[in-house]
Structure 1
Amino acid sequence: MYGIDLDTPGLMQQRTWRWLRIRILGLLSAESRLNHHFAPPEPKPKGGLRRGAQPR
């Protein structure tokens, strides 16, 4: 998503922890594999409610 260039020699040593934190938090809040790993979608209920039925 961000195109972080981790393979450029010495570049990550120039970055701040704040820079990295912002990118990680952005990836966690965006629709991504990282987001699904740490916050998987809740399973959908099977069958659902019948017409006119009240939830418990």
Structure 2
Amino acid sequence: MHEVYGIDLGDPRLMRSRSWRWLRVRVLGLLSADSRLARHLAPPPETPAR
């Protein structure tokens, strides 16, 4: 989250003040951006060995 949005999820006050929809929108955004989360959940296809 911090890498793309600059948001510190370790801040309890911030997280309590945000809705689940807010978090969902950010997570879905990470899945569509070039992020570690997107690369982990949808790694690039393997190239065949030669």
TM-score, length-normalised on structure 2?
A: 0.76
- Larger Rg: 1 or 2? 1
State the 1:46 CA deviation: 4.2
| Identity across matched positions, percent | 62
The list of structure 1 runs, each at least 4 consecutive aligned residues, that deviate by more than 6 angstroms after superposition, is none
**Residues 1-56 of structure 1 correspond to what in structure 2 (within 5 A)?**
1-46=4-49
State the 1:9 CA deviation: 3.5
CA distance in 2, matches of 1:38, 1:19: 21
CA distance in 2, matches of 1:8, 1:38: 25
Consecutive unaligned residues in structure 1, runs of 5 or more: 48-56
**Cα-Cα RMSD:** 1.4
State the 1:38 CA deviation: 0.5
Count of residue correspondences:
47
Partner secondary structure for residue 10 of structure 1: helix
